[in-house]
């Protein structure tokens, strides 16, 4: 079956064996129609026999495309991005592409070098959840200069002429805040995220929802965090405020989960004395000390749509600007915001 340590079979080998030209074999491999039935049969047989696998490096060089796309995310450990990665792979592999996944560590400089690396590898396109500072567009220009199709996800960048796929962050902020208001909360605090579009949009949604309901809260009700550890710290600060908030809307699930830890440690009941909601519907939300209400942003769908959009751009010769896709968020109400009789807080 497999003769140990043999050098890989090439088109040339098959062509020689069958007394046909390399071209003919190549055409059969690629499924071109213009090959005689009998010839095709013989070639196919030999291909199977020798277990021929095309050399994609050579193919890429000759054809001028690699059928590889790059995906750069800030943190693969964050299940939101892991799920996106999964969605991208699952969608784009059946279309014949492979995905190279890179981790920028939430660092713009690392990201820039990942991009260069991928461009050097001649990727056919790029999907990017960028860690660039909000107004820095240099890397995007570098990509555009190379003429490599780009799709932005999760984070928007003003003035960058690339399609964007993501959730409506302001809607997220409104949805979460409105839910807390409906549950009877009035002193709603917010753990805001980093100053990128998701954090900024969710904050704005939060403020808009409060304003629309005629509720005003002290500025100290807005604190900043990014992950569970900083969410925990942020919540501890919130708990010392007078009057104490009766609800916390966390920028994402990790911050909300960290906040819950601080709240419960302080002996405050959730949802009785304080309600908590996050964003992202991470897989373990349901297993937390108190199952965490959250806003689902269908991460897998983001990956899927981003992949489809990218392939569309790659395939379209003309510079069809390709529409952005904004996904509507969905509320997942669990115990951390359950209705409580009276909703009394300290």
Nearer to DNA, 19 or 216 (CB): 19
Smallest distance from the beta carbon of 138 to a second copy, in angstroms? 9
Nearest alpha carbon to residue 309 among 190, 189, 165: 165
Binding mask 26-65 for a second copy (x = CB under 8 A): ---------------------------xxxxxx-xx----
Nearest alpha carbon to residue 165 among 306, 307, 323: 306
Q: What is the DSSP letter of 248?
A: E
Q: Which of residues 57-96 bind DNA (CB under 7 A)?
A: 58-59, 61-64
DSSP-derived 3-state class of residue 229: helix
Q: Which two tokens stand for residue 252?
A: 């994402």
Smallest distance from the beta carbon of 59 to DNA, in angstroms? 4
Distance CA 105, CA 282 (A): 19
Distance CA 140, CA 342 (A): 52
Which residue's entry shows tokens 């090439």?
Answer: 10
- Please tell me whether residue 23 binds DNA under the rule CB under 7 A: yes
DSSP-derived 3-state class of residue 155: coil
101 binds, among a second copy, DNA, none (CB under 5 to 8 A by kind): a second copy
- Please tell me whether residue 27 binds DNA under the rule CB under 7 A: yes
Alpha helices in 74-196 (DSSP H): 79-92, 108-120, 138-146, 169-182
Distance CA 174, CA 159 (A): 26
- Please tell me whether residue 296 binds a second copy under the rule CB under 8 A: no
Smallest distance from the beta carbon of 217 to a second copy, in angstroms? 26
Nearer to a second copy, 206 or 251 (CB): 251
Categorise residue 260: left if φ over 0, alpha if ψ from -120 to 50, beta otherwise: alpha
Site for a second copy (CB under 8 A): which residue of 31, 94, 120, 267? 120
Site for a second copy (CB under 8 A): which residue of 31, 147, 219, 267? 147
Q: Which spans of this chain sit near DNA (rule: CB under 7 A)?
A: 7-8, 10-12, 19-24, 26-27, 29-30, 34-40, 54-55, 58-59, 61-64
Q: Which spans of this chain sit near a second copy (rule: CB under 8 A)?
A: 2-6, 8, 53-58, 60-61, 66, 68, 76-77, 79, 82-83, 85-86, 89, 98-103, 116-117, 119-122, 141-142, 144-147, 228, 257-258, 260-261, 283-284, 286-290
């Amino acid at each position: 079956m497999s003769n140990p340590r043999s050098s890989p079979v090439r088109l040339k080998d098959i062509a020689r064996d069958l007394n046909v030209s390399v071209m003919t074999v190549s055409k059969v491999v690629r499924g071109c129609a213009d090959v005689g039935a009998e010839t095709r049969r013989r070639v196919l047989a030999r291909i199977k026999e020798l277990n021929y696998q095309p050399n994609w490096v050579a193919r890429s060089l000759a054809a001028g495309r690699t059928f590889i796309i790059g995906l750069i995310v800030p943190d693969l450990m964050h299940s939101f991005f892991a799920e996106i990665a999964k969605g991208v792979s699952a969608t784009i592999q059946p279309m014949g592409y492979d995905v190279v996944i890179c981790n920028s560590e939430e660092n713009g400089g690392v990201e820039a070098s990942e991009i260069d690396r991928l461009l050097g590898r001649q990727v056919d396109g790029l999907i990017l959840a960028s860690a660039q500072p909000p107004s820095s567009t240099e890397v995007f220009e570098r990509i555009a200069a190379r003429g490599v199709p780009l799709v932005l996800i999760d984070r928007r960048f003003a003035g960058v002429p690339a399609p964007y796929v993501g959730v409506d962050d302001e809607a997220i902020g409104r949805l979460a805040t409105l839910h807390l208001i409906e549950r009877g909360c009035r002193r709603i605090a917010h753990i805001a995220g980093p100053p990128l579009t998701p954090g900024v949009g969710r904050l704005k949604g939060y403020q808009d929802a409060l304003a629309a309901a005629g509720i005003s809260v002290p500025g100290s009700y807005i604190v900043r965090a990014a992950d569970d550890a900083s969410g925990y710290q942020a919540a501890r600060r919130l708990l010392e405020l007078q009057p104490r908030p009766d609800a916390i809307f966390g920028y994402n699930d990790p911050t909300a989960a960290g906040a819950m830890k601080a709240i419960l440690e302080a002996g405050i009941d959730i949802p009785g004395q304080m309600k908590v909601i996050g964003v992202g519907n991470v897989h373990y939300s349901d297993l937390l000390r108190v199952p965490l209400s959250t806003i689902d942003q269908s991460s897998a769908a983001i990956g899927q749509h981003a992949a489809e959009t990218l392939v569309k751009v790659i395939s379209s010769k003309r510079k069809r600007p390709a529409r952005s896709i904004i996904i509507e968020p969905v509320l997942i109400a669990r115990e951390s915001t359950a209705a409580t009789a009276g909703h009394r807080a300290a």
